Each structure stands twice: as C-alpha cells, then as structure tokens.
Amino acid sequence: MKSEVQELSWVVSDGIRIYGRAWNPSGESKAILCLVHGLGEHCGRYDHVAAALTQAGYALFAFDLRGHGNSEGSRGHIPDYPVLMDDITRALDEAGRRYPGKPHFLYGHSLGGNLVLNYVLRCHPQLLGVVATGPALRTAVTTPGWKILFGRTMYRLWPSMVMANGLERKALSRDGEVVTRYRNDPLVHDRLSARLGIDILLSGDWALEHAEGFPLPLLLMHGSADRITSPDASREFAARAGAVCTLIIWDGLYHEIHNEPEQAKVLNTIEMWLDKRIESAKTKA
C-alpha cells in the first residue's frame, strides 16, 4: 500500500501554533500511531518510518514539539514540563478527531521516549499500547556535576537560557548518510534551555522511580551501542515495569535504531508487536 501525507497545524492553549503530519495507508488503517520525536529534530525525519508503517496498514500521526521544526516557540525551550504533557494530549485529541473510532498507540524516540513514558504514567490515557525507542531516561555518559549544578542554577535564575545540547552527531547512526542529512537539515537545531535540560533529567528519574505502575503494554527498544541515551536505564525501567514491558536491546546499534542499516528489522519488529496488540484487543473484546 502506498502512503499519502497531509500537513496539519493547530494552536494550543498558550497560543503556540503546532505543525503536524499525517501519513495514511491507501486502504483502511488498522490503528493510529501518534509519534513524538527527539530533541532538536522534527517529524519530517520519519518519512521512511511512516512508509514502512503505512505499508503494514497503520497511519502515523506526528507533530513537531514546540520550539522544534516547523512549530512555533523558542528553539529548544519550554515554559515547563507539564506543558509538553498538555501538548501530547492535544495531539492525541487531534488524531482522534481525524481518525474516529480507531485504536491509538503512542510512539516516542529519545526525548520523545521520555515524554511518552512520563505521559502514560502521569495521565493514564486510553491507548492500546506504547512504543519507546532509545528513551532519554538517563544520558549514556554521566553528566559532569558542575554542568548539572550550573543548569540547576540557571533553571532558577534564567530558565530560558539556551546553549548547545552537546549531541554527538556521529553517535546517531552507523550510516554516514543519516549523519550527513542530519547535519545539513535546516530544521534540525542544537539548542537546549536550562529549563528543558533539567526537566529532561528530572522526568527521566521520575519515570524510573514510578515504572512499577506503568499501566499499558510497552515495547521498549534500545541500541546496545547507544552513546547518547542509556541502554542500562531502559533495562532498569523494563525490570521495574514487569510483565507489561517487552524489552529488546539491539546488539551493536546506535541511538536512532530506526535509522540504522538494520532499520527494516527494527520497523518490522514494531509492526509485529502492533499486530499482536490489536489481535489481543480483539480477543478480549
């Protein structure tokens, strides 16, 4: 099935215009995945993910986080963490309005993985399940104490202060073309405010502390060679979440497992897990 893409936008409660995309299969969609992307990037980098999912009969509904991509807002900054939870709620509402009666999944990568795990733990949405890849629960390399102290100080005194996020671009993927496209993408930025940086750290710790209460089926995947976010933190979350969580650590893969040479296997794994969740829901109905 060939997919078609629609460009969308909506205004959230504080007046920020959010940009979105919807990729649809040519036939009837099995379910809707609402995608939350990572730090500094945008939903347009997921065209190939959408192509695979729509080929399997799923619609992908995605949006650029505030301060990212084509959405409005100060680059790399947020007023506070709860506003991101509200933005996800609004995105799910928009998806529900456009796909009435269809089951929904949340799918988040990196920062998006942090956000979807926190969102489910805090907001308890009605979903069939969650996919999180390379979630930013902890950094792969321990952040120096002085940097955290500086960030916490600015968090109180100047929360909108932005700096370079320090992302190691070569650690995104073993595919050099992926890294080159990322480097040359005009919608990618490296901005990170004190507010967002500290909130990512705090919310990652909070999610790990509360993982035992995760209420939905979860597919949690991470590359074992990720040098950006911690595979061990994903292992810890899965161990605490228990039976609801399916953990897959991809041996030797870098941070963006959907952009690695093995991406077809990764995306096929997601598709098979989604299919099982839908079949399970039908059985229980």
Residues recognised as catalytic: 110, 226, 255
* Burial (Cβ within 10 Å: 0-12, 13-18, ≥19) of residue 176: exposed
CA-angle at 228, arms to 222 and 233, nearest 5° = 50
At residue 40, the 3 state secondary structure works out as coil
Tell me how far apart the alpha carbons of residues 66 and 112 are, in angstroms, rounded to a whole number.
12
Cα distances from 251 to residues 57, 103, 216, 225, in angstroms, run 28, 32, 26, 7
- One-letter amino acid identity for 44? G
Tell me how far apart the alpha carbons of residues 66 and 18 are, in angstroms, rounded to a whole number.
7
Task: Please identify which residue in the block is written with the tokens 């995947």.
Answer: 221
Q: What is the CA radius of gyration of the chain?
A: 18
At residue 208, the 3 state secondary structure works out as helix
Q: What pairing do the DSSP bridges indicate for beta strands 191-193 and 162-164?
A: antiparallel
Tell me how far apart the alpha carbons of residues 72 and 240 are, in angstroms, rounded to a whole number.
37
Residue 193 structure tokens: 């405010």
User: What is the enclosing helix (H) or strand (E) of 277?
Assistant: helix 263-284
Tell me how far apart the alpha carbons of residues 187 and 60 are, in angstroms, rounded to a whole number.
20
Residue 16 structure tokens: 């920020």
Inter-residue contact 201 to 113 (CB < 8 Å): no
